[in-house]
Amino acid sequence: MPSVSVDEYLEGLWVIRIETAQAASVKNVAKQLNITPPSVAQMFGKMRALGLIKYDKHSGADFTRKGKRRARHIVRSHRLMEKLLVDVVGVNLSKVEGPACGAEHYLPEEVADAICTYLKHPRECPHGEPIPKGKCCPQRKV
C-alpha cells in the first residue's frame, strides 16, 4: 500500500487532472497543494518509481492505470466516509474532514463498496463534490 503522503498526492492529482482537467506540472501542483516545487518534484520521482504516474516535462504528471485506480479509491473513500458520518451517524459537517481524511487510506475497496451500497450509491459528498463510482454502483457517469 502506498504511503499516506503518496495517497494525498494521488488525491490532489485526481482533482487537478480528472475533475478540473488541468495540467499537473510541478508548478501547478505545488500551487494547488500549497507545497514547495522541490518537494513536488521529489514526490513525482517517488510516484514514478512506484508506477503510479508518468511524467513529461511539457505536459506534466498523469496517472498510470494503477495510479488512477488508487486515486479514484482514495477520493471515493474520503467522500463516502463524509457521507456516512454526516447522513447516518449525524456528525456535524465541520467535524468530518479529519476522520474522512484518515479513514481514506485504510478502507479496502470491498469496504468502500459496502458503505456505498448501504448509502444507495450516492453521487455526491455532503460538500457537493462528486463521488467516483465503484464496482458496486449501477452504470452512471462519473
Where do contacts with Zn ion occur on this chain (CB under 5 A)? 82, 116, 121, 125, 127, 129, 134, 136-137
Measured between alpha carbons, how far is 18 from 72 in angstroms, rounded to an integer? 10
Min dist. Cβ of residue 6 to Zn ion (A): 21
**Nearer to Zn ion among residue 61 and residue 86 (C-beta):** 86
Closest CA to 6 of 65, 55, 59, 74: 74
**Nearer to Zn ion among residue 43 and residue 125 (C-beta):** 125
**Nearer to Zn ion among residue 56 and residue 106 (C-beta):** 106
Measured between alpha carbons, how far is 77 from 27 in angstroms, rounded to an integer? 27
Contact assessment for residue 10 and residue 52, using Cβ atoms and an 8 Å cutoff: yes
Min dist. Cβ of residue 141 to Zn ion (A): 14
**Nearer to Zn ion among residue 49 and residue 138 (C-beta):** 138
DSSP 92-140: -GGGSHHHHHHHTTT--HHHHHHHHHHTT--SB-TTS-B----TTSPS-
Min dist. Cβ of residue 100 to Zn ion (A): 7
Min dist. Cβ of residue 123 to Zn ion (A): 10
Which residue matches cell numbers 456505498? 116
